[in-house]
Amino acid sequence: MVTLMSSLATINQEPPSDPARLGYPPTLPLEIALRQATPREICEGYGIDRPTWDALRHDEGFIAAVAGYAEELKKDGMTFKLKARLQAEELLKTSWHITQDKEQPAAVRADLIKFTIRAAGLDGSKDQAAGAGGVGTALQININLG
């Protein structure tokens, strides 16, 4: 829990060197949104003290995460998609370490980087689909005159 405490203590200072790290466990905002226990009980379970909780509950990213989970739970309840999102959040840490590890094959690192960019929607594929009038595939006719 020392790592968690030091991460939370620097919430409003500089960003972590590993962008996959949130500064808090990815399940914490969900547990707060579920309201199955008091924030005090939840914090005790994670080993979060009062000053750390006070810093965390004023963090814009954490507040947005709790609000997002609360909205998701209103719509769909506890869905597979929500569980998969939590798992993907944890897997970002592994992904980050693999892409930074020079011992990993370059092809593996490149594929993982490309996948992450595509999953984040940063590869322009949505822009290309919108440019095609929202149609996923464009009609193409080839005429061979030779």
pLDDT per residue over 6-60, tens digit each? 444 444 444 445 655 667 888 899 889 988 889 999 999 989 999 989 999 999 9
**Which of 8, 4, 6, 21 is closest to 95 using CA atoms?**
21
pTM of the model: 0.48
Q: Is 45 exposed, middle or buried (0-12, 13-18, 19+ CB in 10 A)?
A: exposed
> Domain ranges in the chain?
2-77
**Which of 95, 85, 112, 97 is closest to 26 using CA atoms?**
85
